[in-house]
Amino acid sequence: MVDCFDGKVVSGSLSTRPDAELVNTMLDNAVGTLNAGERPVIHSDRGGHYRWGAVSPKMYRQQCGLE
């Protein structure tokens, strides 16, 4: 995950396959870098691994500050 403001890599994750676990790990790591009150907007290419049911609710909850 890259911060579009300054180009800093905020989070990354490695796996042998692109799946929901890969994306969720990356999101969890990114959320861990946020300061109180920060609510980032996640822009993705909407690839298959971002559309799986296990990912979309997690992205929504994190963007709304519910996690």
Extract the tokens encoding 62: 């994190």
Q: How many domains does the chain have?
A: 1
Tens of pLDDT along 30-61? 888 888 887 777 776 666 555 566 665 666 56
Let me know how many helices (H) and strands (E) the chain has, helices first: 3, 0
pLDDT value at residue 20: 77
Domain extent at residue 62? 1-67
pLDDT at 61: 61
Cα(66)–Cα(61) distance, rounded to whole angstroms?
5
